[in-house]
Amino acid sequence: MGLLLEVVRGREVARIHKDHQGGIQGLLSTLNRKFLPSSLSLQIIPADLNGLLHLTALHIADFSEILGELHEAEAFRQQAEQLRLAMDDLMWCEEAGSWHDLLLTASAPGERRFRAERIDDGARASDWVPLWCRCCEPGGERARAAVSGLAASGLVGPGGVLTTLSETGQQWDAPNAWAPLQHMLIMGLRGSGTPEGEALAADIAQAWIRSNAEAYRATGYMHEKYNALRPGSAGGGGEYEPQVGFGWSNGVVLELLRLYPDQTPRTGVASNCLSQ
């Protein structure tokens, strides 16, 4: 039963911690025995998920205030602040300029008390999702550090931001780049309140738009993921054939073309996105 829970939970959070599971996609595809001892999905506390919970609490507070539910609004703002402070204390890594996932381990065998240890085994694009989730003050020291951290992470490639630096052959690792992550990172950088963040956001958006356009010119399709190291190339890996005509790729590139109209390619990619 414990293994089943790990596998089911692993499907939801495979992108965050596949390195700790020994390749969860392969586990789900083959249930190869060599992967079973290292599945730790129930012990991971993801930074990006907690960032999204923080952002959700702020949204609920905003909606509550619009509806005149001032007590509810204040309660959710307090919850968001408590979560932000906990993330600052437990997840923020000053050296990397990013938030890291946590690994829960029992204090001793059989005990119900746990300790949380920050996972510091390589950069992931998800480490900077909290920047988009308003987990730091725009223009503040932490926002500036996060912008510098992403710029120096090695994740920013000529065709977008790599999901991780690990080349495992799985789809949520290098060299793949995914549209939703590009959008979250670009919007987080734009909202960082720093000129460096604005400039890096524009660079990533330009690289992503050009890669999408080149791939469309070469194949006639929009793709579900792209190769961040080879602009204009679709991504690969994983346990199924890469898909084309993909909704989130279409939506993200249309939004980036709205934000950066000077980057509009002469390939018909925008009209193609609207028609798919």
The predicted structure's pLDDT at residue 14: 40
For residues 31 and 102, state if they share a domain.
no
The predicted structure's pLDDT at residue 256: 97
For the chain, how many structural domains are there in total?
Answer: 2
For residues 30 and 123, state if they share a domain.
no
How far are the Cα atoms of 93, 120, 145 from residue 97, in angstroms, in the given order? 6, 12, 5
The predicted structure's pLDDT at residue 139: 97
Q: For residues 146 and 212, what is the distance between their CA atoms, to the nearest angstrom?
A: 26
Residue ranges in the chain whose pLDDT is less than 50: 1-37, 274
Q: For residues 99 and 201, what is the distance between their CA atoms, to the nearest angstrom?
A: 19
For residues 2 and 19, state if they share a domain.
yes
120: domain range? 46-275
For residues 28 and 83, state if they share a domain.
no
For residues 22 and 92, state if they share a domain.
no
For residues 85 and 27, state if they share a domain.
no
For residues 97 and 167, state if they share a domain.
yes
Secondary element (H or E) of residue 104 = strand 102-106
For residues 56 and 100, state if they share a domain.
yes
CATH at 173: 1.50.10.10
The predicted structure's pLDDT at residue 104: 84
For residues 103 and 234, state if they share a domain.
yes
Q: For residues 189 and 206, what is the distance between their CA atoms, to the nearest angstrom?
A: 14
The predicted structure's pLDDT at residue 142: 97
The predicted structure's pLDDT at residue 30: 44
The predicted structure's pLDDT at residue 263: 74
The predicted structure's pLDDT at residue 179: 97
The predicted structure's pLDDT at residue 269: 54
For residues 7 and 82, state if they share a domain.
no
Q: What is the residue type of 95? A: E
| Per-residue tokens: 266 | 């002469």
Whole-model pTM: value is 0.82
Q: For residues 240 and 237, what is the distance between their CA atoms, to the nearest angstrom?
A: 8
For residues 3 and 123, state if they share a domain.
no
